[in-house]
Amino acid sequence: MENEHTYKAIAWWNAGKTGLVKSDSAPNAIHFAAPPQFGGLDGRWSPEDLLLSALAGCFTTTFLALADYSKFEYKDLEVAVEGKVYKVQSGYEFAEIVIRPTLTISDQAKKPQADWLLEKAKRLCLVSRAIAAQQVFLPRVRATARSEAVGTVSAGD
């Protein structure tokens, strides 16, 4: 595996108040606009939404890699990310980003390992490490009863 990777995205306005952003790694462009609070359009992704989505996706893929490497099986992982933007003297900024992963496991005895993997994923998530805003991490692990089990998500699936 190489020690250096380059990622590239290109954005441009296509009409009025909407734009497109495209990456070399994905076939489809994403339509975006400023959020409605800043004069943009409803129903479009905003750069703020994309940032929070990148953080949620990065945490999820980082956890998946760690769980796969550790041979840790889990039933589900949901990562909710919420950011608060405030007006400051120099403009607007994210003052706080809250990351709420909820990991569902089938064996309560695996909770310490689950907690450890969640914390490690937070430390290793590349996007999280690139964001200067304060991040609040509120992980939750829940064990389901065997009767609730509908299938096991393995990190390798």
Tokens 């991040």 locate to: 135
The CATH number of whichever domain residue 66 belongs to comes to: 3.30.300.20
* Closest to 63 in 3D by CA, of 10, 132, 137: 137
- pLDDT for 17: 86
Answer yes or no: do 63 and 129 share one domain.
yes
Amino acid letter, 52: L
Last residue of a domain, one of 13, 30, 45: 45
Give tens-digit pLDDT for 6-37. 989 999 998 788 999 999 999 899 999 999 99
Measure the CA dihedral 52/56/62/67, to 10°. 170
CB-based contact 17:39 (threshold 8 Å): yes
Answer yes or no: do 76 and 115 share one domain.
yes
Answer yes or no: do 12 and 36 share one domain.
yes
| pLDDT band per the 50, 70, 90 thresholds, residue 152 | very low
Answer yes or no: do 56 and 67 share one domain.
yes
Give tens-digit pLDDT for 41-92. 999 999 999 999 999 999 999 999 999 999 999 999 999 999 999 999 999 9
Give the Cα separation of 118 and 76 in Å (integer).
13
Answer yes or no: do 39 and 50 share one domain.
no
Which range marks the domain in which residue 50 is found? Answer: 46-154
